[in-house]
Amino acid sequence: MSRFLSTEAACLAPYTPGEQPTDAQYIKLNTNESPFSPSPRVVKALSRAEVLKLNLYSDPTCGVLTDAIAARYGLRRENVLAANGSDEVLAFAFRAFCGQGRGVAYADITYGFYKAQSALFGLEATVVPLREDFTLRVEDYLNFPGTVVIANPNAPTGIALPRTDIQRLVESNPDRVVIVDEAYVDFGAESCVPMILRYENLLVTQTMSKSRSLAGGRVGFALGSPELISALNRVKYSFNPYNVNRLSLIAGAAAMEDEDYFRDSIAAIEKNRAWTTRELEALGFTVLPSSANFILAKSDRMSGETLYRTLKENGILVRWWADQPRIRDYIRVTIGSAEQMAALVDEIARLLDM
């Protein structure tokens, strides 16, 4: 470790992002992006005139984007904060809310970024194991005297909680914030957004990286009471006032306004998810029930590591975690286009036959 590292930085637990190869040699099913290009409205909105305005700073209030998001969800601007991906939203929320009481509680297994953020902000973290079947027991979090973070659907399991469970959690401690990370909610789970006007302690985070095909545009957002949103703005304006760049503001607003494209993309992913699940089960896989744009699956004949490595050698990238004992036998597969899924299933069938 470098001698220049501060004591705080030496204590970090950095998150390792999924592989992002810069050439096109792989069928890329490892980081839950959409296989579809952004909406044609996004392409149209990113005109030369907009590029020529890049000499000017972007709007720190993210006006066009927050208005488009607010309109889509029947909310007001005061209920919305936009950010450079929902990772940034989560960072602002961890900074703003998780230092109170007993720090933060989250599941094992869940999105790895929560652990990284907890270390970054020096928070006490209560890590609660999932049940044997990978479902989350909401009772484990009721009355927790700190902030609770729940990914719904969870990642990388894909399993969703009903809205009523989150409601019990939010009601169990009105003085503590509950953060519901809905990065994958559009693929079949129940969103808690309709609850935010009722509960001042509920913060919902979402992203345009998955269901709106904008992972590279880095647009995420939080929805919550004006009290929570203004707390997030305190952090944002202390950290990076121009957090969403000009092109992403416009791209995000255009993507948010194309409801038909959004619905069609989701319908295609849900169809491909059902197909892939059936095909893998026919090949002897156990597939967890997913409400997300990915599945976590385990073969009865080949280890997760072998599957990951041999698929990669054959041009298909999936995700596998060497450092997660409970899911070492599993691979996580992003649901892509019908052609990509057919190529994956063919390749797996071939490997199992050898």
Contact residues for ligand PMP, defined by CB under 6 A: 85-87, 111, 151, 155, 181, 183, 207, 209, 215, 220
For residue 178, give the DSSP letter. Answer: E
Q: Could you give the 3-state DSSP secondary structure of residue 43?
A: helix
- Give the residue with the Cβ less far from ligand PMP, 206 or 299: 206
Q: Is the dihedral of CA 290, 296, 302, 306 positive or negative?
A: positive
**H/E element holding 3?**
none
CB of 143 to ligand PMP, least distance (A): 24
- Give the residue with the Cβ less far from ligand PMP, 174 or 216: 216
Cβ(248)–Cβ(64) below 8 Å: no
- Give the residue with the Cβ less far from ligand PMP, 173 or 209: 209
- Give the residue with the Cβ less far from ligand PMP, 185 or 196: 185
CB of 98 to ligand PMP, least distance (A): 16
CB of 114 to ligand PMP, least distance (A): 9
CB of 244 to ligand PMP, least distance (A): 12
Residue 122: CB partners within 8 Å, gap ≥ 6? 8, 11
Place of tokens 């607010």: 70
What's the rounded Cα separation, in Å, for the pair 140 and 143? 9
Q: Cα 40 to chain center, whole Å?
A: 23
- Give the residue with the Cβ less far from ligand PMP, 216 or 284: 216
CB of 307 to ligand PMP, least distance (A): 21
> Counting every residue, how long is the chain?
354
- Give the residue with the Cβ less far from ligand PMP, 141 or 283: 141
Q: Give bridge partners of residue 83 from the DSSP assignment.
A: 220
Q: Concatenate the DSSP letters of all residues of 244-259 into one string.
A: S-HHHHHHHHHHHH-H
CB burial of residue 99 (10 Å; 0-12, 13-18, 19+): middle
What's the rounded Cα separation, in Å, for the pair 53 and 245? 11
CB of 182 to ligand PMP, least distance (A): 8
